Amino acid sequence: MMAHSEGVDSSILDTTVKSWDRHYAVNARAAWLLIKAFAESLPSHVQDQASGRIVALTHDHSAFNLPYGTSKGALDRLITAAAIELAPLGVRSNAINPGPIDTGWMTPEMKDQLTDLTPAGRLGTPTDTADLVAFLLSKQGGWITGQVLHSNGGVGVA
């Protein structure tokens, strides 16, 4: 499970090269190195058709958060590549885009605004995300691979 992230609000015009490089180092390169090390630790032949799981948290925000959003896009492609390339090792690889999760960082106004965008009528909780992670790591989640799953209460559906 990969839930690490670098995120600093900036746009096309005010993102610095240093910030861009740091976002990619944390959000994409670190994930690639973790996945690579994990895959290298697996046996070269598969005993079990579902011997390993990769789950990463992603996001689809980009405007005014450019290096964060684009580096998370790179993470999404890494996750789908891992699903294909590591399948012979029994690895299942997926990403979760959890949408607005209430972890205490939002202002009351932001909570109201985001709740209004959510057909489910509420913000997500850490437990909502943890339950999906647990499913993807379970035997029952073994048929799901190569997906970016939107677990967001329906944000963007309407």
The CA distance from 94 to 105, in Å, is 26
Could you give the dihedral angle defined by the CA atoms of residues 98, 99, 103 and 105, in that order, rounded to the nearest 10 degrees? 140
Write out the catalytic residue numbers: 68
In the sheet with 91-97, reading across from the earlier edge strand, the strands are: 52-57, 91-97, 147-150
- 127: tokens are 């437990």
DSSP 26: I
